[in-house]
Structure 1
Amino acid sequence: MRDLWIKKCGDISYDEFEAAYLNNTPHCHYCGITTEQIQQLWEMKPKLTKRGRGRKLELERLAPNEKYSNLGNLVFSCYWCNNAKTDTFTEEEFMKVGAVIKEIWEERLGKNGLNKDYPDNL
């Protein structure tokens, strides 16, 4: 967490950043996937992404032009939503995309963990 603060939010105190970070619910703001569900996906598919990125939630700026030090503008986002949203979509627009991604995660994860029919090539 300290490395993330140094890299993104060095112009505010670490204590402020830590409090905001710990107050956010640890799931993707857009699709709702949790850290535990992300871990399940990686355990089932060790090569889930080409670059190996996506093993944890990332900090996302709702308004992309705001500084990371604007703590009210920060939420957690999974790699896939954060990568797809880029700086192009508003929060409201991307919530619609996140709803579709959520449906896909639910299909892949099933109700009690990973869906056994989850294709090997995905």
Structure 2
Amino acid sequence: MMNEMKKFLFEAAMGYDYCKSCHKGSTMEEMLSEYGLSYQKYLPEITRIQRLCTYNENGNKKIRFGNKKDFLEWYLKKWSLDGSAVCEYCGISEKECNELLNTQRKPTRGRHLEVERREPNLDYDSTNCILACYVCNNTKSDFMSEEEFRVLIPGIQAFWKSQRNKKKQN
């Protein structure tokens, strides 16, 4: 089921309005309803993944990884529907990060692992990008290399531990 959902999200994010992988010519809504799922429930996730494919730089849209298909294949291999994917720097899961992070920007940032460039002066591609939590991505920003950032990771892990303890006390 999980692989089927990832195929669905890939095809929907690519902009297909029918399910290519089922070979029945079903619409995305029909395909999901076969599993007892609602297209409307997954529409925000599809939209979010579509937005990840592009970014604005001086008002110009550019495709990450050279093309949308390559990016989506990379992203959907790394990311998980159930929130179990982890930050490749500090190790916190997307689900736990979402539960523990308290930010005013939460509707747009912090709910999901973010695409992070290990070396900020290099391109977005499969060899330079990882998924990172909001805290690691913001802390590292685009002025530190991965090597320079590594010294800060124990502090971020301590931060997440303190957030877990606060949650247990409440």
TM-score category, normalised to shorter length: 0.7 to 0.9
1:50 aligned partner: 104
Percent identical? 34
Deviation at 1:104, TM superposition (A): 2.2
**Residues in 1 aligned to 2:68 and 2:105: alpha-carbon distance in whole angstroms:** 29
1:87 lines up with 2:142 in the alignment? yes
Deviation at 1:18, TM superposition (A): 1.5
CA change 1:6–1:89 in 2 (3 A) is closer
Structure 2 matches for 1:1-122, cutoff 5 A? 1-7=49-55, 10=63, 12-24=66-78, 26-42=85-101, 48-52=102-106, 53-68=109-124, 70-109=125-164, 115-117=167-169
Higher CA-based Rg: 2
Deviation at 1:75, TM superposition (A): 0.5
Matched positions, count: 109
CA change 1:27–1:18 in 2 (3 A) is same
Deviations 1:45-97 (A, max 9, x none): xxx113333121111001101122x2210101111111111222221221221
Aligned Cα RMSD in Å? 2.3
Unmatched runs of 5 consecutive residues or more in structure 1: 43-47
- Does the residue aligned with 1:97 lie in a helix, a strand or coil? helix
Which structure's relative contact order is higher, taking Cα pairs within 8 Å and 6+ residues apart?
1
**Residues in 2 aligned to 1:49 and 1:71: alpha-carbon distance in whole angstroms:** 29
- Does the residue aligned with 2:168 lie in a helix, a strand or coil? coil
Unmatched runs of 5 consecutive residues or more in structure 2: 1-48, 57-61, 80-84
Contact 2:100 2:167 in 1 (8 A): no
TM-score by length of 2: 0.55
TM-score by length of 1: 0.74
Deviation at 1:4, TM superposition (A): 0.8
